[in-house]
Amino acid sequence: MYLTRQPRHRHNGFTLLELLVVLVIIGILLTMASLSVGGGSEQRQLREEAKRITALLALAADEAILKNQELLLAIEPDGYAFLTQDEKGKWIPVDSTGSLRPRELPEGVSLSVTVEEPLVMAKKADDEEEPGQIWILSSGEMTPFTLTLHIKDGVDYQLHGDLIGNLKLDEPGVEK
């Protein structure tokens, strides 16, 4: 009589290692798919710039409160800058190398601003024209505005700011 050995347990499933390998492969495939579907580089630049300007405005509002100083956001055709007044009343950039440094817009991106209710500020003695359209006050108030970032043949991003400093970025394709 021959004795044959039969396995004690029959394995009817996957090991944990096999499941982890499959999950890693699925994760890599999903990452590659999302990168390829993510839109053109111009659209991506526009989205990044919209998020950047939103974050910078929030940072500038915090800085104005912490440092007890009034700031202006100067909008120019090719960029924007956060300005403050020096001892002589001249408007200068808040920071030349830090987060609130003057910035240029990426190629093909345009920026426009609509001021809803301009804040009334005291005129300077020499009637020098004030740069910028958006005041950021040390009290936390801000000029109500709508900033529109646009690329040719693309969608617009709109950033809305209200009097008490709340910011809301409207992204295309996102339900409001």
Q: Per DSSP, what are the bridge partners of residue 74?
A: 81
Dihedral sign computed on CA atoms, order 102, 54, 94, 164: positive
Q: Band of the pLDDT at 167, cuts 50, 70, 90?
A: very high
Share of the chain above pLDDT 70, in %: 79
Does the pLDDT at position 125 exceed 70?
no
Strand partners, 148: 112, 158
Q: Range of 56's domain?
A: 41-170
Mean pLDDT of the chain: 82
- pLDDT tens, position by position, 32-67: 877 666 556 778 888 899 999 999 999 999 999 999
Whether residue 109 lies inside any domain: the answer is yes
Distance separating alpha carbons of residues 146 and 158, to the nearest angstrom: 7
pLDDT band at 3 (very low <50, low <70, confident <90, very high): low
Q: Evaluate whether residue 62 is within a structural domain.
A: yes
- Predicted TM-score (pTM) of the model is 0.69
- Cα of first residue to Cα of last residue in the chain, in angstroms, is 80
Q: Which two tokens stand for residue 105?
A: 């817009």
**Domain CATH code at residue 127:** 3.55.40.10
Per-residue DSSP letter, 4: -
Does 16 fall in a domain? no
pLDDT number for residue 39: 54
For residue 132, is pLDDT > 60?
Answer: no
Q: Is residue 127 part of a domain?
A: yes
Range with lowest mean pLDDT among 60-64, 72-76, 131-135, 139-143: 131-135
DSSP 8-state secondary structure symbol assigned to residue 134: E
* Dihedral over alpha carbons 147, 163, 52, 151 (to 10 degrees): -10
At residue 123, the pLDDT reads: 46
Nearest to 136 by CA among 76, 75, 79: 75
User: What average pLDDT does the segment 13-38 reach?
Assistant: 83
As for how many domains the chain has, the answer is: 1
**Between these two residues, 8 and 55, which has the higher pLDDT value?**
55
Is-contact 136 61, C-beta < 8 A? yes
Q: Flag whether 46 is in a domain.
A: yes
CA distance 101 to 82: 7
